[in-house]
Structure 1
């Protein structure tokens, strides 16, 4: 299995294969007219766009870390598979095996938020019941996100699933505004996409990586105003995107993606032009 890598100072990043689905393009680009977004991202006859769900393995600082968890395996009903346009289930375990690792080797899981497409891979079927996929890991979740995960409202209950939190309950550690996971890696609460949405910042030896998660689901969402209809607090998303993207561009950061079908990571200049990129293999 061929996996894509990015070296950022002392940290090695590797994208694992977490699954592939298709969601409505209009929902993914919100109020942006189709004649605009369709020039920047592919779509099919049903107006669906392809979206990967590929976790990022981070090795460094004496730890093995996973950012997000993938779509999981056998986690969707037939109806959900149709609605979510499932094309490919998770190959996270196979991806880890290609690097000589197992799920038991993961020390830390960083969850930017707990929507099903990010959290399904946290649990797996074993002997007819759902258990933690990464049994040794500390799983970091922002405190507001964790609260809503366990008590979702009428809107969010469709994406915050009880099956995704009960098996991992004892592994979860929460935080407020920011958390330094280890020197050079930190989590920052942004809100926007969800109340507890967070991003990951990685810095080492003058290299900066920003994983903006679902504030920046694809390279086509670079414009701060291009936010998803799925966002619970779109104005918060806009302001957070503006702040973090501008800072990242000034510092020459790599912007990494979980969902993008074309790019694993890009760099932009002040005009929003891609100056460097790592493509999906």
Structure 2
């Protein structure tokens, strides 16, 4: 099982399901002739994407970043449209660590789009219930507000089935939220208005989880942003700031969506120094 150590944090990944989305949408205005050299694509122009939560253990806490695609949360049409061929197996993944769903203390949400938030709830006896019943769910206030009152564009991805049951668990923050001495959640906007990234920093080590600002290793360039981004220029500015910050410090970058890599450490010039590949 893939593992990474940053300070007191042990970082692994849970099996959260998958999607297969249109490559053109995932790479926006970048020509296919360029992005297809960096990431696999099939004959339907779809690229394989994971929805695997990052699992962090530190100081006796069990923390995950995002929640997976969920179990039986999408109907057949949605599965076909979003290329979902695998549901979440979070409960089974945690069991390998000797843990249960109730053992999760915090769920950090980069944002609340369906492919990140569907694992927060599940259907029990005809009504939706929290999956992580003992956890606090951390998200930006902007994201939480839009989740509950989506606009005409965002209503397709912010589903009431994913938020109505977990409102009492939510901690909403404005600009930054310090979860531990090492873990900070930072609002960036861009992909969604309330999108956030996660920084894990010790005296001599740094990890950045860029969420959907950098969904795969092929999105390293600040200019390679998705057509799905609500505010692409904000994405570009945020990526330029945080990716450059990370490169200068030889940060680890971790991924929720990448089908190939769990984490990469690049040099200041963008060359791969270390990487952790996803076992298949």
Tell me whether the two structures share a fold, i.e. TM-score over 0.5: yes
Note if contact 2:249-2:268 (Cα within 8 Å) is conserved in structure 1: no
Q: Is the 8 A contact 1:11 1:204 kept in 2?
A: no
1:74 corresponding residue in structure 2: 72
Q: Which residue matches 2:123?
A: 125
Gaps of 5+ in 1: none
| Aligned partners of 1:10 and 1:205 also within 8 Å | no
Which residue of structure 1 aligns with residue 56 of structure 2? 58
Equivalence for 1:15: 13
Deviation at 1:205, TM superposition (A): 4.7
Question: C-alpha distance in 1, partners of 2:121/2:205?
Answer: 33
User: How far did 1:175 drift?
Assistant: 0.3
Within-5 A mapping of 1:196-275: 196-275=194-273
- Gaps of at least 5 residues in structure 2 are none
Give the 5 Å matches for 1:96-115: 96-115=94-113
- Cα deviation, 1:100-126, whole Å, max 9, x if unaligned, reads 001100011100100000000000122
How far, CA to CA, are the matches of 1:200 and 1:260 in structure 2?
A: 17
For the residues of structure 1 that align with 2:243 and 2:54, how far apart are their CA atoms? 20
Structure 1 residue 270: deviation in Å?
2.2
* Mapped partners of 1:48, 1:25: distance in 2: 5
Report the aligned-residue RMSD. Answer: 0.8
Q: Is the 8 Å Cα contact of residues 123 and 132 (structure 1) preserved in structure 2?
A: yes
By how many angstroms is 1:57 displaced? Answer: 0.9
What is the CA distance between 1:5 and its match in structure 2? 1.1
Q: Please, which moves more after superposition, 197-206 or 213-222?
A: 197-206
Displacement of 1:16: 0.4
What is residue 169 of structure 1 aligned with on the other side? Answer: 167
Once the 2 structures are TM-superposed, how far is the Cα of residue 127 of structure 1 from its aligned partner? Answer: 2.3
With 58-67 and 30-39 compared, the bigger mean Cα shift is at 58-67
- Alpha-carbon deviation of 1:62? 2.5
With the length of structure 1 as denominator, give the TM-score of the two structures.
0.98
**Superposition deviation, residue 182 in structure 1:** 1.3
What aligned pairs does 1:142-161 form with structure 2 within 5 A after superposition?
142-161=140-159
